[in-house]
Amino acid sequence: MPPESTDPSSADRSPLARRSVLGAMAAAAAAPGLLALSSPAEAAPAPSGVRAALPGGGDLGPNVIVFDPSTSGIQARLDQVFAQQETAQFGTGRYALLFKPGTYNGLNAQLGFYTSIAGLGLSPDDTTINGDVTVDAGWFNGNATQNFWRSAENLALNPVNGTNRWAVAQAAPFRRMHVKGGLNLSPNGYGWASGGYIADSRIDGTVGPYSQQQWYTRDSSVGGWLNAVWNMVFSGVEGAPAQTFPNPPYTTLNNTPISREKPFLYLSGSEYRVFLPELRTNARGTTWGSGTPRGTSLPLSQFYVAKPDATAATLNAALAQGLHLLLTPGIYHLDQPIQVNRANTVVLGLGYATLIPNNGVTALKVADVDGVRLAGFLIDAGTVNSTTLLEVGPTGATASHAANPTTVQDVFVRIGGAGAGKATTSMVINSRNTIVDHTWIWRADHGTGVGWETNRADYGLRVNGDDVLITGLFVEHFNKYDVQWYGQRGRTIFFQNEKAYDAPNQAAIQNGSIKGYAAYKVADSVTTHEGWGLGSYCYYNVAPTILQHNGFAAPNRSGVKFHNLLVVSLGGQGQYEHVINETGSPTSGTTTVPSTVVSYP
């Protein structure tokens, strides 16, 4: 593991002279206690067809809205964005709302679809809102199960009434937040909710999930936790409830084995930089509670600040010349893959920047190199079938990246919903030691372009690499296996799944002699694997008599271990015969009561 670091702005001070940048990095590497993360190499010759080097830095575009405490009309601007985005579940608007360090009084930032709110300090406490950051479900009659694609990050909140409301479902991360009060995870009126994810946050008061069906909290601190419904998982959380699965269904790990927080944009004086948190092992609690977080940072001048009209060729040219990518809010159409070949490259999206492959290509590919960081963007399948949408490492990748793994954080994948889309396998992890920290891989069950063959997508996630860790895994509705795991020594902490709603009949999901494809399948060749807090639900509303043999399938050997598994039939629309392999009682009737297995084998 690299040594711990100190001053995040100590490296890469010169925005213009590449040699000076490298010299500064070398000096930082030589200084005791400083973490030296790779800086871009000297600019390579421009690729064929590119006449001049692309510039780093630049403005963040019209859909990044930056406030400071002296800005007038902040509430009106927040309300304007919310009015546009509140019901725009499959719209094209994308927004990042950024707050410079300071104190803001009397605000209620309501967040709709594809809206991110964040502070621009190094610590959440640098940017304080005396008010609320609210997600509710009035637009959907009090049902929060479709409150997707929004986020809050790096802010301190003093909620007006003592408790902030964050009623979300999938793909709605709550990161690096300090709530100086309580946090309510359910909608007004306690309607349905289906979230969610918290990381690197401190909630001084009590977290009340109420109707939330499942939730994962990582490396945080809470003042209390009120209740559980089906599956509440905690790793490295100070104040978490004790392990009691299945009654109540709390799965609690004292630490997170390996973690590295998501990169984030911040201000150092008047200069934008991107902070790169360091790798932690056996992590517990926040990274920022004792002052400045540990890691290093890069100036915006080392990023190609992309706008939605950028072509894949331009993005690849920027990467080839040694720049990182900052994807500003919008929709990017790609006719070739974005190819990340250089170690320690950062690809950071703002405001749910969305990549769409137009002609069946893979949206983004990563070489088998150290320390790539992918964070904060959505990949939307195109109308022509893509074999894959995201590939981390090429097929057959074997290099160890234990000291400096690639991280995939808040990277979401969607097939259908905004329009017909197809992909055989959505996300493939080939590189060893990769950390996937919060993803939702979704074959749409509603919206436009939805149907058993219309948005055909057989497989959600395939893990081929060894020593991969996933924290916060949400994968839903694929035509066959939702998750396939072939790598050795893989680990998953928290899994939420629904099988495809729209299977037309039993024959459509028949898997040889087996009824249905398991949600989470560990290959017979795997000798070591472990999972904690994993749930699969079925809602076969087109053919309610469908039987699903099990939610989980794995080789029955001592090195393959599962803790706290559950399957649920939602309203009796289809049933599970077992939880894992031939173990676990069947679901039955319409009671929506989980069938559980505490330990397997």
Count CA within 13 A, CB hemisphere, residue 103: 3
**CA pair distance 332, 308, nearest whole angstrom:** 5
**CA pair distance 281, 405, nearest whole angstrom:** 12
| Nearest to 137, CA basis, from 178, 189, 70 | 189
Length of the chain in terms of residues written: 601
CA distances from 378 to 73, 260, 293, 348, 411 (A): 30, 20, 27, 11, 6
**CA pair distance 486, 462, nearest whole angstrom:** 8
- The residue from 153, 278, 391, 498 that is catalytic is 498
Burial class (CB in 10 A: 0-12, 13-18, 19+), 124: buried
Active site residue 391: no
**Residue 86, token pair as written in the block:** 């509140």
What DSSP string describes 320-337? Answer: HTT-EEEE-SSEEEESS-
| The pairing of beta strand 595-600 with beta strand 560-569 | antiparallel
Per-position b or e across 93-113, b if 16+ CB within 10 A of its CB? bbbbbbbbbbebeebbbbbbb
Dihedral sign computed on CA atoms, order 199, 266, 409, 368: negative
Which residue has 């069906």 as its token pair? Answer: 213
Burial class (CB in 10 A: 0-12, 13-18, 19+), 33: exposed
**Residue 69, token pair as written in the block:** 């405490």
**CA pair distance 494, 109, nearest whole angstrom:** 29
The answer to whether 130 and 159 have CB atoms below 8 angstroms apart is no
| Nearest to 553, CA basis, from 484, 505, 458 | 484
**CA pair distance 213, 170, nearest whole angstrom:** 11
**CA pair distance 476, 467, nearest whole angstrom:** 24
What is the rounded (10 degree) CA torsion for 253, 259, 262, 267?
110
**CA pair distance 221, 563, nearest whole angstrom:** 23
**Residue 91, token pair as written in the block:** 């719209």
Burial class (CB in 10 A: 0-12, 13-18, 19+), 77: middle
**CA pair distance 122, 504, nearest whole angstrom:** 51
Which residue has 């030691």 as its token pair? Answer: 433
**CA pair distance 199, 216, nearest whole angstrom:** 9
What is the chain's alpha carbon radius of gyration, rounded to the nearest angstrom?
A: 23
Active-site residues, by number, are: 498
